[in-house]
C-alpha cells in the first residue's frame, strides 16, 4: 500500500527539521542586560536586552517570575524580541525577567532581576 498525502507531508516536515538542525549552529550562552541606574516607580522606563553569545537564534521568548510575558501598552518587544521596554515602571514590575533563545538544535536562557524603588514610603 502506498503512502498517503498526510504521511508524505509529515515525512517532509521531519526531513526539513532534520536538515535545518544540520546547518544550524547551537546557541552557546545567552546574556541579559538591563538598567544599572536606580529605577523609581512612576518616573522610569526600563530596557532589558537579550543576546546570544554565539549560534543561530530562531525564536526568543520572555518570562517574568515564571510566567510568559505578552506585549501591552507598557510592555513593548522589539521586532525580533531581543529586547523589551517597560514604560512607566510600577512597583509590581519588580521581579526576575528570563529571556530564552531557541533554535532547532537547542535553547539557552538567562535572567535579569529588575528592582523598582518607590519615591516615597507609600508606594
> Using one digit for the tens of pLDDT, what is the confidence trace for 14-34?
655 565 556 789 999 999 999
Domains of the chain from N-terminus onward: 25-117 (2.60.40.10)
CA–CA separation, 20 and 104 (whole Å): 7
Dihedral (CA of 111, 37, 84, 80) sign: negative
Dihedral (CA of 81, 100, 106, 9) sign: negative
pLDDT, one tens digit per residue, over 41-61 is 988 999 999 999 999 999 999
Amino acid at each position: 500500500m502506498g503512502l498517503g498525502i498526510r504521511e508524505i507531508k509529515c515525512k517532509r516536515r521531519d526531513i526539513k527539521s532534520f536538515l535545518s538542525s544540520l546547518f544550524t549552529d547551537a546557541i552557546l550562552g545567552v546574556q541579559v542586560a538591563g538598567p544599572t541606574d536606580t529605577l523609581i516607580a512612576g518616573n522610569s522606563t526600563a530596557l532589558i536586552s537579550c543576546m546570544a553569545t554565539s549560534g543561530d537564534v530562531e525564536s526568543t521568548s520572555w518570562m517574568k517570575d515564571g510566567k510568559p510575558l505578552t506585549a501591552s501598552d507598557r510592555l513593548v518587544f522589539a521586532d525580533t524580541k531581543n529586547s523589551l521596554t517597560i514604560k512607566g515602571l510600577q512597583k509590581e514590575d519588580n521581579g526576575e525577567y528570563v529571556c530564552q533563545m531557541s533554535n532547532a538544535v537547542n535553547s539557552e536562557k538567562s535572567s535579569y532581576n529588575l528592582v523598582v524603588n518607590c519615591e516615597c514610603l507609600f508606594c
